[in-house]
Amino acid sequence: MAPQHAPVAAGPAPASGTFQLLPGADGRLAAQGPLTFATARKARELGRQALAAAAGGLEVDCSGVSAADSAGLAVLIDWLAAARAARRTLRYTGLPDGLAALGRISEVQELLQSGV
């Protein structure tokens, strides 16, 4: 049985709410809300905590990310680096178009799509 993760929030963002990692099916997490400069610091911590608590690999569904900027992209890359350092797998699904475009511009799209 997959470990249960409690919903967590990452602080306010203007007019958009908070960033959260919510428990989903089969131990997956669902990213919800803005992943922006306003939420990046706390979101980074939340993702690292989720990686530390995961028994093995982790999958994050990003389809609920309502807004993203370069700070949000940096958070996703940081989570991948933390997963690699911990010898865990991490995969993203449902990347919104805007976040995927940031990945293309930054030349990290393949990394976001394949995970570690």
Residue 5 in any domain: the answer is: no
The span from the CA of 57 to the CA of 79, in Å, is: 12
Q: How does pLDDT run across 19-71, given as a tens digit for each residue?
A: 999 988 777 899 999 999 999 999 999 999 999 988 788 999 999 999 999 99
Tally the domains of the chain.
1
Q: What is the CATH number of the domain that holds 76?
A: 3.30.750.24
- Candidates 4, 113, 116; CA nearest to 55 is 4
Residue 47 in any domain: the answer is: yes
Residue 94 in any domain: the answer is: yes
- Candidates 97, 80, 81, 94; CA nearest to 31 is 94
Instruction: Among 6-15, 48-57, 84-93, name the one with the lowest average pLDDT.
Output: 6-15
Mean pLDDT of the chain: 85
The span from the CA of 22 to the CA of 10, in Å, is: 12
Which structural domain, as residue segments, surrounds residue 68? 37-114
Residue 8 in any domain: the answer is: no
Residue 77 in any domain: the answer is: yes
pTM of the model: 0.83
Residue 104 in any domain: the answer is: yes
Residue 10 in any domain: the answer is: no
